[in-house]
Amino acid sequence: MEFLKRYWKDPKWAKIKGVFLFCLITIVIHFSFRWWVTDLGYFPIKSFFITLSDSIAAIVLQQSSWIILHLLRIHLTVKGDIIYFDNNSGIEVRTACSGLQQMLQLIILMLIYPGPWKHKLWFIPSGMVLIHFTNLFRIIGLAVIAIISPKFMKFGHDYILRTTFYVVIFGLWWLWVEKIVPRREIKKSQNPI
């Protein structure tokens, strides 16, 4: 145990300690969100949260189908919340596809980490926009997989494209702690005197 304490306090390990804390906080937020959804049913803001998720999912459906049709020139048909392609494959853009969970993860992560509010007030909304674009990329990537090889859609969705969210959130966190809010500025915001 003494061995771990010594390395934990060693400044050479600060970056690894930071990554460890990022991972730990992200995992706690992820599973807390799942618990809030499955066991608590979004209590106490169920109707608000579902309405917001549905609205964002509808925007994601509209924007991604527009990009797939007009920029990638892939013919599609939209019925309800499903994008159908000519090879009889499709993508369902449900409430869970809104990206709202990942936006909330970023918000909570940024609220936990120290730094001046003058930076948080622009960084958090900018990060949310980046997460939205990441979500569009995810849906468009699924469309490409659906066209090229529909049998890989589940693998692409679960292991490759979902991971993209966490890579982007990690990148935003890294940008925050390494570039936006250097250590001296964090210390200054914690001790204003």
- The H or E element spanning position 133 is helix 117-148
For residue 21, pLDDT beyond 90:
no
Both tokens of 45, joined, read: 């803001």
Would 178 be classed as within a structural domain? Answer: yes
Would 73 be classed as within a structural domain? Answer: yes
Would 53 be classed as within a structural domain? Answer: yes
184 — pLDDT class (breaks 50, 70, 90): low
Would 40 be classed as within a structural domain? Answer: yes
Exposed/middle/buried for 59, CB within 10 Å: 0-12, 13-18, 19+? middle
What span, in angstroms and rounded, lies between the C-alpha atoms of 95 and 56? 8
**C-alpha triplet 20, 25, 29: angle, nearest 5°:** 150
What span, in angstroms and rounded, lies between the C-alpha atoms of 46 and 25? 24
Residues 95-130 pLDDT 10s: 889 999 999 999 999 998 888 999 999 999 999 999
Task: Cis check for the bond before 182: say yes or no (omega within 30 of 0).
Answer: no
Would 69 be classed as within a structural domain? Answer: yes
Range of the structural domain that residue 50 is part of: 21-183
Q: What is the DSSP letter of 144?
A: H
Residues 27-77 pLDDT 10s: 999 899 999 999 999 899 999 999 999 999 999 999 999 999 999 999 999
CA atoms within 13 A on the CB side of 87: 12
- Residue 18 is predicted with a pLDDT of 83
Would 159 be classed as within a structural domain? Answer: yes
Q: How many domains does the chain have?
A: 1
Would 27 be classed as within a structural domain? Answer: yes
